[in-house]
Amino acid sequence: MALFSSLSERLNHIFSKLTKRGRLTELEIRQAMREVRIALLEADVNLKVAKNFIAEVSEKAVGQQVLASLNPAQQVIKIVNEELIALMGPGNVKLEVSSRLPTVIMMCGLQGAGKTTMCAKLAVQLKKQGKKPLLAACDIYRPAAIDQLKVVGAKAGAEMFEKGTQDPVKTAKQAVEYARKMGFDTVVIDTAGRLHIDEKLMQELENITKEVDVTEILLTVDSMTGQDAVNVAEAFNNRLSITGVILTKLDGDTRGGACLSIKAVTGKPIKFIGVGEKLTDLEPFYPDRMASRILGMGDVLTLIEKAQEAVTEQQAKELERKMRENSFTLTDYLMQFEALKKMGGAGALMNMLPGMGGKLKLREGDFDEKKIERIRAIILSMTRKERDNPQIINSSRKRRIALGSGTTIQDINQLLKQFEQTKQFMKQMKGGKGKRLPF
């Protein structure tokens, strides 16, 4: 997606400017946050929500220590990402069950959000949990809405209760009575799509909640919704005090910033996401996935995460010291390979790093598992002295190492040559404008 590359480019621009170590300064935060703000707005996060979020996070970020394995901009984004996850969480919130059966779930939302389809998806989910759901058709306005619920209900293997176009409040009440009598443990009420400013129809929903003991009121929202999501969510929540949110149509390519807006104004959990047209395409909500989707920095985030996992801060510091002093040894070389392996190979890593692609001439296969194993064996067959000073490795030592590691002398020559090249490369990096290895 074009958006992603431009974002990566912009970040790359910051990376190149901000290479200082130590604590995050206000200037660094401001520069990185400018990009984050645009990323959030382009993802449809509400302007007010985005501004407040950035103000809060900036405050938290001032003075934080920059991890050795990251640069300041990456560090800022790491904080942003963590805050986003915290705000949108917790994930995987289950549906409440009423102590007095049946549990009643009422759907609500704007027209075209996907309520009717979602009713059937919920029915499938409930049946999987061994429940017996009844679908109640309370959309009496949209032509053929009842037929639609009947068809998708049948596909889900759930019975539907309908009373034609009679008052939906009455139908809801009768559906619950019917469920109680017939042994259904859950009733899912499908309601008509309505505008949050439509007084008459909002009153109708309120009346249902007065007449029926509703356990869950789920606001169904199209994940492609823009700035208006806050108005919609706020109106429904103020009026009905919703218990949760369902985001639909996340199988598209929307960044889904509406999710953050809704969570920010309602504080209610996102219980499910719809990810396809099949009735089984319903998933629990994962705040971390949503955060990286909204930021649109999946590539950078993955890198940050992996760099963190692969090398401890201590190791990174040590490595950098050695680069500085040019005392990089074969032991360090091996450590680096192992870190790379954890990160999913050097190729993947270089692609994730904005602006790094192509700078290092790495051949495909340089880092395959077998090769790393062989390098490991060779280095471990050396004496400590040989690892620290490879220049002492003469041909008789090479023969011994080859024998010990089950390799050939050519393999050892190749390794030593690569090691020298890496050292050269590091020297260049050091000489260049303070560019650091990403690990």
Partner 1 sequence: MGFFGKIRDALKKTKESVSQKMRQLFLKNKIGDAFYDELEEILISADVSVRTAEEVVEQVKEEAIGNKIKDEGFVVDLLKDILEDTLNEAPMPEIKYPCVIMLVGVNGVGKTTTIGKIASWFVKNKKSVTVAAADTFRAAAIDQLNVWADRAKVRIVKHEEGSDPSAVVFDAVSSAKARGTDVLLIDTAGRLHVKENLMNELRKMDRVVEREYPEAHFYKFLVLDATTGQNAYTQARVFKEAVDLDGIVLTKLDGTAKGGFVFSLCGELRIPVVFAGVGEKIEDLEWFDAEQFVEGFF
Q: What is the dihedral of CA 353, 358, 361, 366, to 10 degrees?
A: 50
Q: Give min distance, CB of 255 to partner 1, in A.
A: 8
Cα–Cα distance for residue pair 184/349, rounded to 1 Å = 53
Nearer to partner 1, 274 or 390 (CB): 274
Q: Which amino acid is at 192?
A: A
Report the length, in residues, of the chain. Answer: 439
Q: Give min distance, CB of 18 to partner 1, in A.
A: 23
Cα–Cα distance for residue pair 26/179, rounded to 1 Å = 60
Cα–Cα distance for residue pair 306/2, rounded to 1 Å = 24
Nearer to partner 1, 270 or 375 (CB): 270
* 59 SS3 class: helix
Q: Copy the structure tokens of residue 92.
A: 């995987």
Buried b (16+ CB within 10 A) or exposed e, 290-310: bbbbbbbbbbbbbbbebbbeb
Cα–Cα nearest to 118, from 5, 222, 11, 12: 222
The footprint of partner 1 (CB under 8 A) covers 38, 41-44, 46-49, 52-53, 56, 87, 110-114, 141-145, 147-148, 150-152, 155, 195-197, 222, 224-232, 234, 249, 251-255, 257-258, 264-265, 267, 277
Cα–Cα distance for residue pair 19/223, rounded to 1 Å = 37
Q: Give min distance, CB of 265 to partner 1, in A.
A: 6
Q: Which amino acid is at 376?
A: R
Nearer to partner 1, 130 or 267 (CB): 267
Q: Give min distance, CB of 149 to partner 1, in A.
A: 8
Nearer to partner 1, 110 or 343 (CB): 110
Nearer to partner 1, 142 or 399 (CB): 142
Cα–Cα nearest to 81, from 297, 252, 228: 297
Nearer to partner 1, 190 or 332 (CB): 190
Q: Give min distance, CB of 37 to partner 1, in A.
A: 9
Cα–Cα distance for residue pair 76/305, rounded to 1 Å = 13
Q: Give min distance, CB of 143 to partner 1, in A.
A: 3
Q: What is the dihedral of CA 88, 93, 99, 105, to 10 degrees?
A: 80
Nearer to partner 1, 116 or 292 (CB): 116
Q: Give min distance, CB of 92 to partner 1, in A.
A: 20
Nearer to partner 1, 226 or 357 (CB): 226
Q: Which helix (H) or strand (E) holds 270?
A: strand 270-274
Q: Give min distance, CB of 39 to partner 1, in A.
A: 10
Nearer to partner 1, 48 or 384 (CB): 48
Beta carbons within 10 angstroms of residue 17's beta carbon: 13
Q: Give min distance, CB of 185 to partner 1, in A.
A: 25
